[in-house]
Structure 1
Amino acid sequence: MTLQLNCDLGESFGSWTMGMDAAVMPYIDQASIACGFHAGDPMVIRKTLALAKAHQVVIGAHPSYPDLVGFGRRSMQCSSEEIISLMHYQIAAIDGMAASAGLTLDYVKPHGALYNDMMAKPDVRDAIMASMSEYHRPLTLMLQATLQNAEHQSAAERFGLNLCFEAFADRCYDDDGRLLARSKPDAVHSKEKMLAQVKQLCNEGSVTTINGNTLKLQADTLCVHGDNKAGVQAIQDIRELING
């Protein structure tokens, strides 16, 4: 399969630095930019947009639950109305700043616990899809490639949305197609395992799960995390594997 390469970026905040955005940006196709609720601030967003523009990288919004202290990795009990509102608030911030920089926001990829809840809870997924269908212009929703792709595609069609299915270079998969929880051993791949997984995805359209089973995935884009040192160090090799 031919994959795009994406990375979650703009996740620094004030004097606190997360990731190596400048090192990653030359090698990726899509940059998912933090919107301020889990990371990022106006200056960081502006600098990340400028980096993306310099390297002609497509930009997406990376919204989360309002959880700056927990880096957006803690689930919150938000109503559908709250999710729609927090999505609109964050998307509009990136959308407006991008337009001011001469860029066009292309897609939305929820972050952390909001992403996990989107994949596990139909009510959260419906709220996210509703928020995007109510936004003033079309945007693509990026979500995890799973065995339920067809089901998610059907739901998106009801909301009039386009989807982009995502696989992960640096994360280990469980047998059910979910990402192995970061709290478990071997959840994040070493560089060697990461490159092997990318090669398998490109050549066979599958990954090997934590228990050694083969899991078929239909994906459009491949994520490498910018907060993962091994992932950043492997990004050039991953680019070469994707390019074939």
Structure 2
Amino acid sequence: MSLQIDLNSDLGESFGAYKMGDDEALLKVVSSANVACGFHGGDPSVMRQTVGLCSNMAVAVGAHPSYQDLQGFGRRNVSMTPDEVYEICIYQVGALMGFCKAAGVPLEHVKPHGALYNQAAKDLDLAKAIAAAIKDLSKGDRDLILLGLANSKLQEAAEELSVPFAGEAFADRAYQPDGTLVPRSQKGAVIHDPAMASQRALEMALHGKVVAHDGSEVVINAQSICVHGDTRGAVEMAVKIREGLLTAGVRIRPIREVLGL
């Protein structure tokens, strides 16, 4: 059986008069979109438009909930209890589910954003709150998939609560030896070279590993590779990554298909 992997990007992050990224161009490249739900980016109009674009371009739709931090783009740590994290996830994912239902488009997965993602990757209680919200929102329908950092507490929480999980790797981010991402505040945390990002994506997809910033190898069991939509040169990078994967014989497929669900 040939190798296959999902290629995802964080989209729908514009709001009001503020434009973020080139969503239409990225949707021609990726197989899954993580749509902002209003707390770090996005607004009702953008959410509706992005779901419609995904539908028209046959791209799987996922929710991208965040801490309520529009000014900091959801990248600042916020102190919240697990119950509060559960509630903001229910609120945001539920809103996007409404737009998906109105458009006749299935919601496939949930990927936390920014600081919420990074904190939950290390904090099992927060991770379980996110997984519980996903599990409860799946009642009466097919299971939503939790998309999170491979080999993290998010994966542990999903397994504990019997929530389908897809491990994610980042072609455009530097890794620490423990498998977590180098904080954006540090030099070299974000990779801007499309050729380098493409090579890292190939290592992840073909060999299940990536080189950390100290030169050590990190084992990564990833079913999806992310290219950030707000990264400089994001479209060029996504195209380079896709072309590299396809040339190597790796098929690009949505998360649910990769997981065989």
Q: State TM-score, norm by structure 2.
A: 0.88
The superposition leaves residues 145-191 of structure 1 with CA deviations (integer Å, 9 ceiling, x where unpaired) of 13x5xx75553233121001100010011111111111111111122
**Structure 1 segments (4+ residues) deviating >3 Å:** 151-155
- In the alignment, the residues of structure 2 paired with residue 168 and residue 36 of structure 1 have an alpha-carbon distance, to the nearest angstrom, of 23
Pick from 208, 211, 217: which aligns with 2:211? Answer: 208
Partner of 1:219: 222
Q: Which amino acid aligns with 2:209?
A: S
The answer to whether structure 1 residue 83 and structure 2 residue 88 are counterparts is no
Q: How many Å separate the matches in 2 of 1:73 and 1:105?
A: 24
Answering whether residue 65 of structure 2 is matched by residue 63 of structure 1, we say yes
Contact 1:170-1:231 within 8 A present in 2 as well? no
Match of 2:127 in 1: 125
Q: 1:235 and 1:157, CA in 2 relative to 1: closer, same or farther beyond 3 A? A: closer
SS for the counterpart of 1:6 is strand
Matched, 1:240 2:221: no
2:176: which partner in 1? 174
Over residues 34-64 of structure 1, what are the superposed CA-to-partner deviations in whole Å (9 max), with x where a residue is unaligned?
Answer: 0001100111111111110111000000000
Instruction: Report the CA distance shift for 1:43/1:152 in structure 2 as closer, same or farther (over 3 A).
Output: closer
Q: Which amino acid aligns with 2:29?
A: Y
Which residue of structure 1 lines up, in the alignment, with residue 144 of structure 2? 139
Judged with a 3 Å threshold, the aligned counterparts in structure 2 of structure 1 residues 10 and 202 are, in CA distance, closer, same or farther, namely same
- Distance in 2 separating the partners of 1:230 and 1:213: 27
Give identity over the alignment, percent.
40
Q: Using the alignment, how far apart are the partners of 2:67 and 2:115 within structure 1? A: 7
Q: Would the alpha carbon gap of residues 10 and 26 (structure 1) be closer, same or farther in structure 2, given more than 3 Å must change? A: same
Contact 1:7–1:28 (CA under 8 A) maintained in structure 2: yes
SS in 2 for 1:3: strand
Q: Is the 8 A contact 2:74 2:113 kept in 1?
A: yes
Letter in 2 for 1:232: V
1:43-86 residue CA offsets vs partner (Å, 9 max, x unmatched): 11111111101110000000001111111111111112211111
Match of 2:7 among 5, 23, 27: 5
Structure 1 residues not aligned, in runs of 5+: none
The secondary structure found in structure 1 opposite 2:4 is coil
> SS where residue 229 of structure 2 aligns?
coil
Match of 2:194 in 1: 191
Structure 1 Cα separation of the partners of residues 157 and 205 of structure 2: 27
Alpha-carbon distance between aligned partners in 2 of 1:58 and 1:115, rounded to the nearest angstrom: 20
Q: Distance in 2 between matches of 1:153 and 1:116?
A: 13
Residues 155, 167 of structure 2: 8 Å contact kept:
no
Cα gap change, 1:18 to 1:127, in 2 (>3 Å): same
User: Following TM superposition, by how much is the alpha carbon of 1:6 offset from its aligned partner in structure 2, in angstroms?
Assistant: 0.3
Change (3 A) 1:12 1:152: closer
CA contact (8 A) 2:21 2:230 kept: yes
Partner of 2:256: none
| DSSP 3-state at the match of 1:123 | helix
Give the 3-state SS of the residue equivalent to 1:143 in structure 2: strand
- Contact 2:173–2:190 (CA<8 Å) still a contact in 1? yes
